[in-house]
Structure 1
């Protein structure tokens, strides 16, 4: 009998030790993720850790439950602190709105889509655009996709465009209900941008709309982290150029940034007056990629940034044929930004 009790006690101790070790490991990962999120990324491993940051609160909750079950008071206190800290970071970005009052304004609806090398369903895409958009921005635009969209009636509703189609994933462009004037600024490495000024009735300063695509840090079979870094740096310079070229006019930049809000380099883009639409509206955690798997999208790499304008709403929409969910945003453009 005593031998049986001793064996049972050993089993309990072993399980408690394993649970404690798991708790420590999960907490260590959670703390590392918080630290990595706060600093500029310097390698692919850090990027992977940062991408998982939205799920760190769940991991910390598991650690808290394990610590309580193991009766590890100190670990439970640490786990509770990590849960609170990580929730504060994630909740504030996705769920707390930070609206901007732009005074008298006109709403412009923006549809932004990655076409997956032109494979997005043209009829669905054009129907969605006609129903819900005034301006459309796309990446991975191919010559075949341009023809398919034209056949589906895109040009009937959006007669103005700046299109730079290419084979594979290198093409990009935009369509508009409003007349456009293409903006040509110095181009930067590993970043594709099509930009235009919109002639919007009633708006004193023509707003600028840009379609963007930054190279993925994990493109194909190569470690393209350095290329992604060049793309981010180039994009920041492009945004600075847009601000200088348009001020005090509005700027809308939409597309596939191949970056999540938990990457410091992406958050650094939201300076010089630029703000992320989700952060403005508190729209919630709505991942956009990958959207063509049996499981739901896991990460948010498609974004809409605004300057001298305010995002009123943003949501994701399924796009058949693409591996990204599309974004539908409503942006308030001030009629006269110089008027108090």
Structure 2
């Protein structure tokens, strides 16, 4: 291969890598409206690596302009990821508060190991939000003794991925909320000792934009629109009280519709704490999880900790989070 052909090939590879990386940065900035934009956006956490490869190839080919462009793309890709995962701005809570510990988990068609799940909850949680809650899973959890520690519940089990629910150590009152296409998001009010205004707790499961091999992006967009409406409704119901909404949003922070949920005081616990990059899905493969699609959003509450944990039988890592809820 001649030097000229080699340089031309390297230049073409560098251009392809950098165009892909730049397109992903652009896709992250605008609302998702189709599958190509979705693929580009969810790949954003890894775009800096693609751009770095482009920089190496461009430098090898001695393409100065391409190299400079690569540096710009790398800087842009890193800026959005670092600011989300590592530069948290946790509010200072100067008043009295009560800690509420949350376990949020997608049960994978109810197949999560009941003994592990119940023990995990007993040791680490005050409330539980569950997605893909089947009637069989409710029966197994009950037989394992979940009701002994969490005697209060609001459960809407359904076959396969359709069910959601909540368990609580605290007395709860189920709220009547509007239904929206593409999303399940029931809610309750919690009677927490020492907390004057009852917090609102909700369990969420947004329809996936890609269900099996089908393009279900319209259903996902309907679901995210429903989530926006319900979060606004919860804020109105709670008033000065806390709102905690945990579950499977089927959305990463790189999808614009998810970031648009963070208005009216809502924060993502990972982003609030700067807790670091911790993908949750898929957790049942030979390779590590790649996508951060499970979240706990809060309003009028400060996250003090959050971590992920593998749950046998599920294809999602669960979230364990603690929130400081104002007492007054």
Give the TM-score, by structure 1 length: 0.95
Q: Secondary structure at the match of 1:278?
A: helix
1:123 is aligned to 2:132:
no
Aligned to 2:24: 33
Distance 2:214 2:84 in 1: 32
Aligned to 1:282: 274
Q: Per-residue deviation at 1:309?
A: 0.6
1:283-324 Cα deviation digits (max 9, x unpaired): 111110111111111101000000011111111100100010
Q: Per-residue deviation at 1:13?
A: 2.5
1:235 is aligned to 2:239:
no
Q: Per-residue deviation at 1:18?
A: 1.2
1:210 is aligned to 2:215:
no
1:43 is aligned to 2:41:
no
Aligned to 2:173: 181
Equivalent residue for 2:312, pick from 302, 313, 320: 320
Aligned to 1:300: 292
1:6-30 Cα deviation digits (max 9, x unpaired): xxxx533322221111111111111
1:91-117 Cα deviation digits (max 9, x unpaired): 100111110123321111100000001
Q: Secondary structure at the match of 2:288?
A: coil
Q: Secondary structure at the match of 2:80?
A: helix
Aligned residues: 327
Equivalent residue for 2:145, pick from 124, 135, 153: 153
1:329 is aligned to 2:317:
no
Equivalent residue for 1:17, pick from 8, 15, 21: 8
Aligned to 1:55: 46
Distance 1:107 1:57 in 2: 37
Q: Secondary structure at the match of 1:141?
A: coil
Distance 2:3 2:287 in 1: 37
Aligned to 1:6: none
Distance 1:313 1:271 in 2: 21
Q: Rg: which structure is higher? A: 1
Aligned to 1:165: 157
Q: Secondary structure at the match of 1:149?
A: helix
Distance 1:225 1:74 in 2: 37
Give the alignment's Cα RMSD to 1 decimal. Answer: 0.9
Give the TM-score, by structure 2 length: 0.98
1:104 is aligned to 2:96:
yes
Distance 1:220 1:83 in 2: 33
Gaps of 5+ in 1: 1-9
Aligned to 1:74: 65
- Asked if structure 1 preserves the Cα contact closer than 8 Å seen for 2:177 and 2:186, the reply is no
Q: After the TM superposition, which segments of 4 or more aligned residues of structure 1 sit over 6 Å from their partners? A: none
1:261 is aligned to 2:244:
no
1:91 is aligned to 2:89:
no
Distance 2:312 2:10 in 1: 43
Q: Per-residue deviation at 1:275?
A: 0.6
Equivalent residue for 1:191, pick from 178, 183, 203: 183
Aligned to 2:56: 65
Gaps of 5+ in 2: none
Distance 1:168 1:318 in 2: 20
Q: Secondary structure at the match of 2:196?
A: coil
